[in-house]
Amino acid sequence: MTSGLEKTLIGTEAKKARRQAIKEKIAVVTGNPKWKKAFVAEYPVFNSLVGANLLRMGTLGRTDDQALLSALTEWIPQVIETQPDWFKKQNHLFINK
């Protein structure tokens, strides 16, 4: 039995929550166009026109694709932990503003 706080979202609420989660996760790495190349290198399933469209729509918060959400959920913490060069340069730009 789940409590009110652990309630599973269904229907349109779940779609909105997934869209927002995708948008927030992508917002961590946007600011440098090299993030897409790094993401596609790690997840080649998104190396297609459909994948590029999903990434573009995800940036705008217009997709609730579960495969994209799970890939981003795995990839973003990895990027934060490893701090690749493109990510360091991106953060350096935001720190100096």
By C-alpha distance, which of 92, 95, 81, 80 is closest to 29?
80
- Whole-model pTM: value is 0.80
Show the tokens assigned to 12: 């349109």
Asked if 66 and 17 touch (Cβ cutoff 8 Å), the reply is: no
* 32 secondary structure, DSSP code: S
What are the pLDDT digits (tens) for 28-85?
998 877 899 999 999 999 999 999 999 999 999 999 999 999 999 999 999 989 988 8
Q: What is the 3-state secondary structure (H, E, C) of 38-97?
A: HHHHHCHHHCCHHHHHHHHHHHHCCCCCHHHHHHHHHHHHHHHHHCCHHHHHHHHHHHCC
